Structure 1
């Protein structure tokens, strides 16, 4: 931990690098063409934009039963109309980043109206639901075998590891809630806790393997963020943690079972500590305090669920189910069932996430 902590402290106060973009007046974009049914996909017509060029890397593009994903270099900050042909009749939506862009269809040709793009816009192929709470965001990735790509394109689909990641993501969320970590980092302007799993569809070349989970404190300027990768074996248990520091240039550090890793804030304070136990379970708590213990709820790994036991609190059982066909994520915490409905094409949360404001005559104590 000493070498990693030193690397973290070195980068405190260093400005974050500029967003990645191609030298000159071009930016990289990814468009997702959602299909009506399995079948033909569209193809970019270069005659409609002489200043545009396709990105040919296979992991930047995709064509499966759900969608066609096309990556392009386009002129920066220009209002464009891009043409696509071949499978145009099979397209029902066009996605840029997290939302729809307008398009027109004439016969077997599709014209997409592109807004001016200032910096790279490449996340359209992601299929994840974001659950935002004070000081924390949980990014839940939907593992759809029909979209499998990259490292996960062939062989046994990592269903066990993904189910384990599902339980571990929400178990960590439960610890963050129990210990008040999210509110604390937000109140002290230390950044935001981000809980994540792993993608199985290689969006924008994010190959995300082997299977793992994250829980890191994203620093306000990103540089200095310590990103751990808690790897999950075929048995659904945790094996080890590999940590890198954004923007530091320092080598990654490996933490095996039994070795604790403490996340540091921008002001140098130790915030929370993770420790993979000798059994492959997970301990998580405030730095220097007795931790919560996250263990499988059954006799095997985490694929069947997790049990969260914090000091002085009764254990809580976490069970997660993701219905891809219905677009419904269900999370059971003991007897409380949460239902998150999401857009099956993008993962965007459809369930309400905030209480509507009261009528104007209602007194609201603003503190």
Structure 2
């Protein structure tokens, strides 16, 4: 995979998404751009493609600070209409007339890798941040395709991140990190929609993000076709090429920037995971199953299970935590989000069940 679009100090590659009204592969229509500075539609591999639900293009342009606009027109298709146009997480207004879609984008002040393809729903509490990648089969790209779409691994990764959040709450890790200004735990899944970030094979992340990033430990926990956790490869943020693979039953220790132990975890033989902290209990996140979601144990005692249903067509996550000990410990959470950007629009929380 080439990472050349991120290496230039002079140019930026800004992506644009065209959401089609009808799913299918129809061919990319003729697209014209115009500006009073150097820019072009780049057709390099991974920067100009069609998926079943969208068309994605990248525009190469100077990095500029003033009010810099690019005018764009896209020819009509006989097969579908363009429902939405998105750039850098924003919906772009357009005019549809004379067999063309006409709009403008502003590139003033845009820096770093383009964020147009991100469809992330982010939940934060003190010391813990959780991100759900809103994957959709109509957007799959890179190493993922429609015929081998990893739906089981996607569902498993979402369950594991929410189950890990629940365990970390029980352990008191988030409050400890926040109160002592040590950073936070970042729980991520994987994305299937970005040619430049294959994010393959399927995995989830349990990252301890230090306050200044560099040195953070970033475990990548790989998931097999049945949804079980099968291996852990841990990288160090900011230090390229440094990583270690942990074997099943081998503890992976997570330390803070002063070298003190925070948590440790290991994968176990049934495809689950055990977590502990210095002097604390040992929790187990059992392997994902379609019927039960993920069960959670504390010192081998069952304490509850978590089920997550993510409806990416309508932008809604339904989460249910069933606590076995007391009715007050159970809760239901409904998270509504924009299906194309992942932006959360509403959260309903009910702990009365």
Shorter-chain TM band: 0.7 to 0.9
Partner of 2:325: none
Gaps of 5+ in 1: 1-18, 355-367
* Structure having the larger proportion of residues in helix: 1
Partner of 1:14: none
Question: SS at the partner of 2:121?
Answer: strand
* Structure having the larger proportion of residues in strand: 2
Gaps of 5+ in 2: 323-329
2:307 maps to 1:316: no
Distance in 2 (alpha carbons) for counterparts of 1:311 and 1:166: 24
2:218 maps to 1:224: no
Q: Is the 8 A contact 2:236 2:243 kept in 1?
A: yes
Q: Is the 8 A contact 2:20 2:84 kept in 1?
A: yes
Q: Is the 8 A contact 1:191 1:217 kept in 2?
A: yes
Q: Is the 8 A contact 2:88 2:114 kept in 1?
A: yes
Partner of 2:12: 27
Distance in 2 (alpha carbons) for counterparts of 1:96 and 1:183: 36
2:107 maps to 1:119: no
- Partner residue of 2:73 out of 67, 78, 84: 84
Structure-2-length-normalised TM-score = 0.84
Residues 1-367 of structure 1 aligned to structure 2 (within 5 Å): 20-24=6-10, 26-38=11-23, 43-48=30-35, 51-76=38-63, 77-78=65-66, 79-87=68-76, 90-107=81-98, 108-153=100-145, 155-201=147-193, 203=194, 205-287=196-278, 289-296=280-287, 301-304=288-291, 305-311=293-299, 315-334=303-322, 335-352=330-347
Residues 280/45 of structure 1: CA separation in 2 closer, same or farther (3 Å cut):
same
1:225-264 CA-partner distances (Å, limit 9, x unpaired): 1111111111221111001112224532000110111112
Distance in 2 (alpha carbons) for counterparts of 1:103 and 1:117: 22
Q: Which one scores higher on RCO, CA 8 angstroms, separation ≥ 6? A: 1
Deviates more, 1:304-313 or 1:143-152: 304-313
TM-fit CA distance, 1:138: 0.9
Residues 120/82 of structure 1: CA separation in 2 closer, same or farther (3 Å cut):
farther
Distance in 2 (alpha carbons) for counterparts of 1:251 and 1:208: 18
TM-fit CA distance, 1:303: 4.2
Residues 83/309 of structure 1: CA separation in 2 closer, same or farther (3 Å cut):
same
Aligned residue pairs total 330
1:79-131 CA-partner distances (Å, limit 9, x unpaired): 21331312488333332222234444443042223141341351211222111
Distance in 1 (alpha carbons) for counterparts of 2:30 and 2:337: 28
Cα RMSD after superposing both structures: 2.6
